[in-house]
Chain A
Amino acid sequence: MTGPLAHVDDIDRFRAAVRAWLPDAIPKDWRRRVQTGGEAAYLDTQREWYAALTSAGLATAHWPAAWGGCDLPLSHQIVLHEEMARADAPNTDLFTITLYHMPATLFAHGTEAQCRAYLEGARSAGVVWCQGFSEPGAGSDLASLRTRAERRGNSYVINGQKIWSSYGRWADYCLLLARTNPDAPRKHDGISYFIVDMKTPGVTVRPIPQITGEAEFCEVFFDDVMVPAENLIGAENAGWQIAQSTLTAERGLLIFENSERLKHSYARDAAAGRDSWLKDPVKAHTFASFFPRIRALNHLVAALLEELATNPHGGGELSTYIKLHWAVLLQDYTGFMSTVNGLSGQVETRPLRGAGATSGEHFYDFLWSYSWTVAGGTNEIMRNVIAERFLGLPR
């Protein structure tokens, strides 16, 4: 093996090899291309970057060797993400479910046949997966979802509607939660987990126009969609537990990547403002007050990764605090940064996907920050969880 993976035995050499490998591997001029070329250019750069990572074995290095990975330890994945953030590489947004949630689900709960059918395509060809979890009537209260899956012969027939499926338009497959037993005494116990081919007749995807000018999130409609019974993951009605067990599949790496990018963005913003708006004492004080919040985030995430290194299913309580701290910090910071240069911050910019939550287009980042304060448990749900579960306040 050549490239960075030839040096996994020595983490310092691995870091050096990643650092040396990145400059040529990162798609050239990707920020400008994404901003000027729109959605098509975004998809191109994502695919180019994924191909580059795959050619070095890095995209799926964290997978088991049996499925084309190399069991890259979490410590090395951290190094990889650190170096990618440092080098301002694009992220692998489009492939988040492909790289983490889908494989984690199949490794733990999939059949041999399911693993064979889906993993290799994801690894080598960058097949895009999405999630079909939330529904218009099941957001914070996800377990009340109503999309139905009825067994008919060797198939399940799916009817219903999903919402907020990121990259749904570009996805080849969907990880779907649907209700198989509407009569279960506990609503959590009547849900099953399916793989759905997005090309199946009856699947309709409608992009949702967003406040950022993009349409990355989608609604997915299921109208008598026939799904082979072999696409059921795990046991019927065990979907809720499976989904819960794989929600943290990325093991803190996504928040780590974002916290690293925020750290570098802050240093860049400080350098950029040094001779201009940072001379204003009021702006300088506000800007400075973000620094401890960012350092606290970096340390909280480091503590989470440390916990996950020893207990892959741990870190639940800590990740709740991190989610709330990060989401509020990100929104405050991007909102503030959009004001430092006066009216020019209000000039609309072209979308810059793939640069993480702090792309540097501050107002655009500020608008996107709502995806963090709302998605994956709103700030309000996080506060309920903290107050009720961790502080023991009455419901």
Chain B
Amino acid sequence: MNDSLDIEALRASVADILAKECDREAVVRHVAAGCGPMQPLWATAAAMGWLALPIPPELGGLGLGLDALVPLYEELGRVAAPLPVLNTLLTVDAIARMAPHQTSAPWLERIAAGAMATLSAPLPVAAAGLSVTWEGDHLRLTGTASNLLDARDADFILVMASDGQGRCWRVMIEKGDAPVLTTDRLWDHGHTLSVLRADGLRLPASRAFASQPEAEEAVLTHAALGLAAEAVGGAQGILALTVDHLKTRVQFGRPIGAFQALKHRVADHHTRIVAARALLDAATRMAVRTDERAGSEASCAKAFACAAYVDIARDCLQLHGGMGFTAEQVCHIYLKRACLNAQLHGDETRHLTRAMAHLLVGEAI
């Protein structure tokens, strides 16, 4: 989609639906009641075609690129939506880039129709805790895959496994395979975290496809942009409600937003968001045109935006005074999401290192 008007229309329609189905009260209720994805909203997301955005048209999707996905992620972040959209679409990306067409087509069709997916982060091969062996037209998986976000509720789990000969494979595990999962609650009740244990789990050989470093890098770039977009949206979301609070909360006979000490803090936060957005927009454009520095720029955006989100959410909770400490108020959800996102798909150190790797070998910027 090259027409910027269409993308803005998409953004507006996403924002409109989220305002109705994922307002502050709904999110607060959801995380108070349990943890994991918000189910009725997931069905809406599928029905509205959000999951089909990047899926090729011949498989029931719209075939759109990151310039369309980034606004979606940003809007989801703005309301701290408890939905695994990013990991589902990262799985789509990994499948589309690496799996043979005949294998990937049914997976993509099911995701377009609303199946939920998650994946082992596109991290270095050494991180694979699973090993894969082949037996004729089947494979066997042994070992553990940790840090699987929302795997408890997922229909597809795309793990990483090594074959003992230095090669890395992606293996798709489906819900029907009855994988053994141990699931932890997270402080952020919008998501869960699982460890998958396999002891010779037998699957059709067609579930495996070779992991390709360049494709994994591209998925990591997608992850970085997605989390940066969620961070920009989330920081804007919590700052907007904090600015409203400063305008309406009266103490000492005036709105507390008239106090310069508070004003200056939110001015700094807003400036930081403007900077994060500039970085995100530029990095997205670079990824869309597959610029050779797209990975570096996306990691810049991830590191900068996620750190900004954490700092802004921390301070916004403080600016809400005692209200910010209550579970009925939404600030804590943003704070917990910000802290989670900062660790997802590589922390700040990892992304800073990736961002500036080219400088440390003496290249120009």
Most B CB within 10 A of own CB, among A274, A293, A387 = A387
| Interface hit among A99-107, A228-236, A295-303 | A295-303
Query: Closest chain B residue to A292 by CB distance?
Result: B304
CB pair A289 B267 closer than 8 Å? no
B243 in the interface (beta carbon within 8 A) = yes
Chain A residues within 8 Å of B311, by CB: none
CB pair B356 A299 closer than 8 Å? no
CB pair A395 B258 closer than 8 Å? yes
Minimum CB–CB distance from A315 to chain B (whole Å) comes to 13
CB interface residues, B 328-365, toward A, < 8 Å? 348-349, 352-353, 355-356, 359-360, 362-365
Digit string of A281-316 for contact with B (CB within 8 Å is 1, else 0)?
000010011011101110110110000000000000
CB pair A384 B258 closer than 8 Å? no
Digit string of A16-41 for contact with B (CB within 8 Å is 1, else 0)?
00000000000000000000000000
CB pair A295 B279 closer than 8 Å? yes
CB pair A324 B271 closer than 8 Å? yes
CB pair A267 B359 closer than 8 Å? yes
CB pair A292 B267 closer than 8 Å? no
Query: Closest chain B residue to A86 by CB distance?
Result: B364
A263 to B264: give the CA distance in the assembly, Å.
Answer: 28
Chain A residues within 8 Å of B276, by CB: 296
A288 to B281: give the CA distance in the assembly, Å.
Answer: 21
Digit string of A304-333 for contact with B (CB within 8 Å is 1, else 0)?
000000000000001001001100000000
A-B Cβ contacts below 8 A, count: 117
B186 in the interface (beta carbon within 8 A) = no
Chain A residues within 8 Å of B279, by CB: 292, 295-296, 299
A363 in the interface (beta carbon within 8 A) = no
B288 in the interface (beta carbon within 8 A) = no
CB pair B275 A321 closer than 8 Å? yes
Q: Which of B282, B349, B352 lies in contact with A291, CB distance below 8 A?
A: B352
Query: Closest chain B residue to A323 by CB distance?
Result: B271
CB pair A296 B264 closer than 8 Å? no
| Interface hit among B28-36, B92-100, B121-129, B295-303 | B295-303
B102 in the interface (beta carbon within 8 A) = no
Chain A residues within 8 Å of B355, by CB: 288, 291-292, 295
CB pair A392 B282 closer than 8 Å? no
CB pair B266 A285 closer than 8 Å? no
CB pair A263 B263 closer than 8 Å? no
A383 to B261: give the CA distance in the assembly, Å.
Answer: 10
CB pair B282 A394 closer than 8 Å? no
A141 in the interface (beta carbon within 8 A) = no
A299 to B52: give the CA distance in the assembly, Å.
Answer: 31
B26 in the interface (beta carbon within 8 A) = no
CB pair B282 A383 closer than 8 Å? no
Given contacts A292-B303, A392-B247, contact A264 B365 (CB under 8 A): yes
CB pair A266 B264 closer than 8 Å? no
Chain A residues within 8 Å of B264, by CB: 380, 383-384, 387
Digit string of B202-225 for contact with A (CB within 8 Å is 1, else 0)?
000000000000000000000000
B268 in the interface (beta carbon within 8 A) = yes
CB interface residues, B 266-306, toward A, < 8 Å? 266-268, 270-272, 274-276, 278-279, 281-282, 297, 300-301, 303-304
CB interface residues, A 360-395, toward B, < 8 Å? 380, 382-384, 386-388, 390-395
CB pair A291 B258 closer than 8 Å? no
A387 to B264: give the CA distance in the assembly, Å.
Answer: 7
Interface of B is mostly: helix
Given contacts A285-B349, A288-B353, contact A299 B282 (CB under 8 A): yes
CB pair B266 A387 closer than 8 Å? yes
A80 in the interface (beta carbon within 8 A) = no
> Interface residues of A, CB < 8 Å — how many?
38
Chain A residues within 8 Å of B363, by CB: 267
Chain A residues within 8 Å of B243, by CB: 391-393
A285 to B282: give the CA distance in the assembly, Å.
Answer: 24
A247 in the interface (beta carbon within 8 A) = no
CB pair B356 A291 closer than 8 Å? yes
CB pair A387 B275 closer than 8 Å? no
CB pair B257 A297 closer than 8 Å? no
B255 in the interface (beta carbon within 8 A) = yes
CB interface residues, B 127-155, toward A, < 8 Å? none
Chain A residues within 8 Å of B360, by CB: 270, 274, 278
Chain B residues within 8 Å of A271, by CB: 359, 362
Q: Which of B258, B271, B304, B364 lies in contact with A386, CB distance below 8 A?
A: B271
Minimum CB–CB distance from B303 to chain A (whole Å) comes to 5
Chain A residues within 8 Å of B268, by CB: 324, 383
Minimum CB–CB distance from A306 to chain B (whole Å) comes to 11
Chain A residues within 8 Å of B348, by CB: 289
Minimum CB–CB distance from B296 to chain A (whole Å) comes to 9
A270 to B356: give the CA distance in the assembly, Å.
Answer: 9
Minimum CB–CB distance from A287 to chain B (whole Å) comes to 8
A293 to B301: give the CA distance in the assembly, Å.
Answer: 9
Chain A residues within 8 Å of B356, by CB: 270, 288, 291
CB pair A391 B266 closer than 8 Å? yes
CB interface residues, B 47-93, toward A, < 8 Å? none
CB pair B278 A393 closer than 8 Å? no
A48 to B348: give the CA distance in the assembly, Å.
Answer: 47
CB pair A394 B254 closer than 8 Å? yes
Chain A residues within 8 Å of B251, by CB: none
A36 to B349: give the CA distance in the assembly, Å.
Answer: 41
A395 to B246: give the CA distance in the assembly, Å.
Answer: 12
A92 to B279: give the CA distance in the assembly, Å.
Answer: 29
Query: Closest chain A residue to B297 by CB distance?
Result: A295
A380 to B263: give the CA distance in the assembly, Å.
Answer: 10
B165 in the interface (beta carbon within 8 A) = no
Chain B residues within 8 Å of A278, by CB: 360
Given contacts A267-B359, A292-B300, contact A393 B258 (CB under 8 A): yes
Sample (23) of A-B pairs whose CB atoms are under 8 Å apart: A267-B365, A288-B352, A289-B348, A291-B300, A291-B356, A291-B359, A292-B301, A293-B275, A295-B282, A295-B297, A321-B275, A324-B267, A380-B264, A386-B271, A387-B263, A390-B270, A391-B243, A391-B270, A393-B246, A393-B247, A394-B247, A394-B254, A394-B255
Residues on A facing B (Cβ under 8 Å): 263-264, 266-267, 270-271, 274, 278, 285, 288-289, 291-293, 295-297, 299-300, 302-303, 318, 321, 324-325, 380, 382-384, 386-388, 390-395
Residues on B facing A (Cβ under 8 Å): 243, 246-247, 254-255, 257-258, 260, 263-264, 266-268, 270-272, 274-276, 278-279, 281-282, 297, 300-301, 303-304, 348-349, 352-353, 355-356, 359-360, 362-365
- List 7 tightest A-B contacts by C-beta distance, closest first: A292-B304, A383-B267, A386-B267, A387-B263, A288-B352, A296-B275, A393-B257
